[in-house]
């Protein structure tokens, strides 16, 4: 008869081994892309992207052919071996979101700002669809 070793904490290892355990606690979070809200007013389209912890200089926002593209990256903090880490979760990360805009916008007049972990992109509406790519500078506060 073959014996199977008893591992009392194996279920906990599986529980914390992946990100599925977050879903019952935070069902609205998608760990592969940041949350984005887009709303339209009479004069503009406003997008808000929730990206806490990112450096505004490492966020790339552009509008091309009616598509809003937001990319960002976060550098890894170096682990110091002598500190005796029990769990290390701060690491390099990046994201990219592309969304087709509901109406044509003035691509050369788009403004972006980053405050308290939220990137706000304000895009004035255009009467006709432009055919160019414009890179938007993100201003941190």
Whether the Cβ atoms of residue 95 and residue 72 lie closer than 8 Å to each other: yes
- Using one digit for the tens of pLDDT, what is the confidence trace for 49-90? 998 888 888 899 999 888 999 998 877 655 555 566 666 666
Query: pTM of the full predicted structure?
Result: 0.64
Residue identified by tokens 């004035």 is 124
Beta bridge partners of 97: 70
**Strands laid side by side in the 67-74 sheet:** 93-100, 67-74, 59-64, 133-136
Chain centre distance of CA 15: 25
CATH code for 32-77+92-140? 2.60.40.790
- Structural domain spans, the chain: 32-77+92-140
The Cβ-side half-sphere exposure at 25, using a 13 Å CA radius, reads: 4
What digits encode the pLDDT tens for the residues 82-114?
Answer: 566 666 666 567 889 999 998 999 988 999 999
């Amino acid at each position: 008869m073959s014996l199977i070793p008893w591992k009392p904490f194996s279920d906990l290892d599986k529980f914390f081994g992946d990100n599925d355990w977050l879903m019952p606690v935070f069902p609205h979070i998608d760990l592969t892309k940041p949350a984005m809200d887009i709303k339209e007013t009479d004069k503009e389209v406003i997008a808000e992207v929730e990206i806490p912890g990112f450096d505004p200089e490492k966020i790339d926002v552009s509008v091309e052919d009616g598509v809003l593209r937001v990319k960002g990256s976060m550098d890894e903090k170096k682990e110091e071996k002598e500190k005796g880490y029990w769990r290390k979760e701060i690491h390099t990360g990046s994201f990219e979101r592309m969304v087709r805009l509901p109406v044509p916008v003035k691509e050369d007049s788009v403004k972006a700002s980053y405050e308290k972990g939220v990137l706000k992109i304000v895009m004035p509406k255009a009467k006709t669809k432009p055919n160019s790519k414009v890179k938007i500078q993100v201003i941190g506060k």
